[in-house]
Amino acid sequence: MQHGKKGQRRVNKTNITKGIIALVCIALIFATGLYFGRTGGPGGFTVTTQYGVGAMDIEELEALAERVDARAEGTAPQQTPVEPETVTQQPEVPDPGGGLININTATSEGLQALPGVGPAIADRIVAHREAHGPFRIIEEITDVSGIGPARFADIRDMITVE
């Protein structure tokens, strides 16, 4: 601060401007983080709001709530790694009797049995699963490039995550 006439203090406008700019930058960084979301890591979680109300049936929602509660209490059972020889290498094809394709174990060929899923999308599903781990809920398949809301609606009743 500088002193003006008769003991009055003048405010240094440069420092105030720099402070305001810094606060705006911090607010923008915070808002950007909220907009894009924080995906889970150890102890983290992912909130998906793309589908709105009604995207999950009540059984899926209750099962998800139980898993979240168990994890919050620290009582969630430890997941055991799947041995490579226990994963079926046979293509899973939906049967007319209501069989579902497990998107966590299906091969690329098995995934191609789904409507609108060709070799490229099937390979991206497998690559996503290998890079990010198994899908927790079927809606997570929309994280794969090429699976949008319309394609998901077509395959929703044909897939599962077990």
Residues 101, 70, single domain; the answer is: yes
CB 51: neighbour CB atoms within 10 A? 12
Between CA 20 and CA 27 the distance in angstroms is: 11
Whose CA is closest to 122, among 86, 84, 155? 155
Between CA 120 and CA 87 the distance in angstroms is: 22
Residues 136, 73, single domain; the answer is: yes
- Tell me the pLDDT band of 6, cut-offs 50, 70 and 90: low
pLDDT at 115 over 60: yes
Any domain includes 43: no
- The residue segments making up the domain with residue 140 are 58-83+91-160
Between CA 29 and CA 31 the distance in angstroms is: 6
pLDDT at 122 over 90: yes
The mean pLDDT of the chain is 74
Non-local (6+) Cβ contacts of 140 within 8 A are 48, 161
pLDDT at 33 over 70: no
As given in the structure block, the two tokens for residue 59 are 């059984």
We report the CATH number of the domain holding residue 79 as: 1.10.150.320
- Tell me the pLDDT band of 28, cut-offs 50, 70 and 90: confident
DSSP codes, 103-156: TTT--HHHHTTSTT--HHHHHHHHHHHHHH-S-SSGGGGGGSTT--HHHHHHHG
Q: Work out whether strand 159-160 and strand 101-102 pair parallel, antiparallel, or are unpaired.
A: parallel
Residues 103, 153, single domain; the answer is: yes
* 57-114 confidence digits (pLDDT tens): 677 777 777 877 777 776 655 555 555 554 444 444 444 445 899 999 999 999 999 9
DSSP state of 10: E
Higher-pLDDT residue of 8 and 66 is: 66
Q: Is 152 helix (H, G, I), strand (E, B) or coil?
A: helix
Count up the domains in the chain and report the number.
2
Provide the pLDDT for residue 80: 54
